[in-house]
Structures are given as structure tokens and as C-alpha cells.
Amino acid sequence: MTTAALIATALFGVTAVFQALLAAGRPWGAAAWGGQHPGVLPTGYRVASGIVALVVYPVLALYVLATAGVGGLDMPGAGAGVMWALFGFFVLGTLTNAFSRSPIERIWAPVNLALAVCCLVLALGA
């Protein structure tokens, strides 16, 4: 379980950095949010990317690490239930990225699939 948690945390880190760079104005909009905004994202999407980068992914990483018992973390509700929910979320993410109209956004499908597998391992082991 520790390996799955560490892999998931690394993937959250990569994705968070990408989202933070989008929030900062990098012109990579074609690779995110459905690929509907090539270039620099509109302000609302940049704010959303910033929230995802600075809040959502770090919190998800803490839940994954707490579920695996890494670092003695204790997050409220951490365990199989949260991991099953994340598993479902990342399966849906895999499908939406895999079938995105934006070819460049499809690169996120394997990342979401890897996160789904990690969450499945954690759900089964919790």
C-alpha cells in the first residue's frame, strides 16, 4: 500500500504543478479543462486551476498517505470509503481524458488510470 500511496502522491504533485502553471498563465489550455481554451485559460479557469493545484490535489495526497499509514498522518474519514470514491472519480477522469476532443488532453488518461489503480489498491488494502 505504501508504494501505491507514494506513486499517487507523485502523480498528484505532477498534476498540481501543471495546474499551478496553468493558473500562472502558461498557454497550455488545450491540455486541460476539455481543451476548449487553447492558449492561456480564461480567468475563471485559471482560478479553478489554482484552487485545484493549491488545495484539492494536496488534500487528496494527504488522504492517500493517511490511508496507507505513511508518516503517521491522520485525516478525518481516511480509509476505504474515500479511496473507493477516488477510484471512481479517476476512472471517470480516465474515460473523459481518453475520449477528449483535444488530442493533447488525452495525455492525462494514463495519469488518471494510474491514480485509479493506486486508489483501488488502497481501497482493497484499507
pLDDT tens profile 56-109:
999 999 999 999 999 888 899 999 999 999 999 999 999 999 999 999 999 999
In the Cβ-directed half-sphere of 34, how many Cα atoms lie within 13 Å? 3
Contact 124, 7 (CB under 8 A): no
Phi and psi torsions of 69, nearest 5°: 75, 25
Q: Give pLDDT, residue 72.
A: 86
pLDDT at 117 over 90: yes
Q: Give pLDDT, residue 73.
A: 84
Q: Which helix (H) or strand (E) holds 121?
A: helix 108-125
Q: Give pLDDT, residue 74.
A: 87
Cα gap 116→109, rounded to integer Å: 10
Confidence of residue 126 (pLDDT cuts 50, 70, 90): confident
Residue 8's contacts (CB-CB under 8 Å, 6 or more residues apart) are: 61, 64, 114, 115, 118, 119, 122
Q: Which three cell numbers stand for residue 89?
A: 472519480
Mean pLDDT on 30-59 = 97
Mean pLDDT on 118-124 = 98
- 82-105: burial string, b at 16+ Cβ within 10 Å, e else: bbbebbeebbebbeebeebebeeb
